[in-house]
Amino acid sequence: MNPLMGEFIGTALLVLLGNGVVANVLLKNTKGHNSGLIVVAFGWAMAVFVGVFSVAAISGAHLNPAVSVALAVAGKFPWDKVPGYVAAQMLGGMAGAGLMWLIYRKHYETTDCADTKLATFCTGPAIRSLPGNLVSEIVATFVLVFAILSMVAPKMSLGAIDALPVALLVLGIGVSLGGTTGYAMSPARDLAPRIMHAILPIPGKRDSDWGYAWVPVVGSLIGGALAALAFTLPL
């Protein structure tokens, strides 16, 4: 399989299962309604496990523009491949979000809260303070990328490790740092589904909160780049 197709499929699986657990917890009349943050964090960890395990041997399973950019900053991934990877990841995120909506479409009809519907697609802050929210995303993504780079050293390729350590890493970040902004840590996980929220015929939806949308994008890219720079600093 072409690596770009691998990134597309891996990211689609990640978002389908990750946003799927959020929909299961938040939307009305689901089997998992109101089961809480721990279920969401565990579900996202399993989503990462499935995505990474499925395509690690094909594309390296970046599944995140922040990871692709960070690897390029670290000199371990060619810059000329970054645009293709990012495009595949974004399209995969959109496809995964679309499939999630298709599965839960009847539950969107029975859910009254427009904010809840938006939350099944993308993140939002518990307390809206854009500078603080940005810092939260930078720190969470720094932890994610720095730990990933440490796991895969010295080859610096995600395909060099099993998927489970990355899943456990995401679980740890979720339960520890996920209470402020929802720990997006990836434009493909946040911006791509947010675009789908804007264009899908979701009954009773609100705007897609474009005033906040830049925070998880900029924060994840900064956090990933800082992690790469920190990892490559000479001792």
pLDDT at 235: 63
* HEC readout, 185-225: CCHHHHHHHHHHHHHCCCCCCCCCCHHHHHHHHHHHHHHHH
Q: Tell which residue, 178, 198, 190, has the closest CA to residue 216.
A: 190
Q: At residue 35, does pLDDT exceed 70?
A: yes
Q: What is the pLDDT of residues 50-88, one digit of tens each?
A: 999 999 989 999 999 999 999 999 999 999 999 999 999
Q: Structure pTM? A: 0.94
User: pLDDT by residue (tens digit) across 86-129?
Assistant: 999 999 999 999 999 999 999 999 999 999 999 999 999 999 99
Q: How confident is the model at residue 194 (pLDDT cuts 50, 70, 90)?
A: very high
pLDDT at 234: 79
Distance CA 5, CA 230 (A): 31
What domains sit in the chain, N to C, each tagged with a CATH number? Answer: 3-230 (1.20.1080.10)
On the question of pLDDT at 199 being above 90, the answer is yes
pLDDT at 154: 45
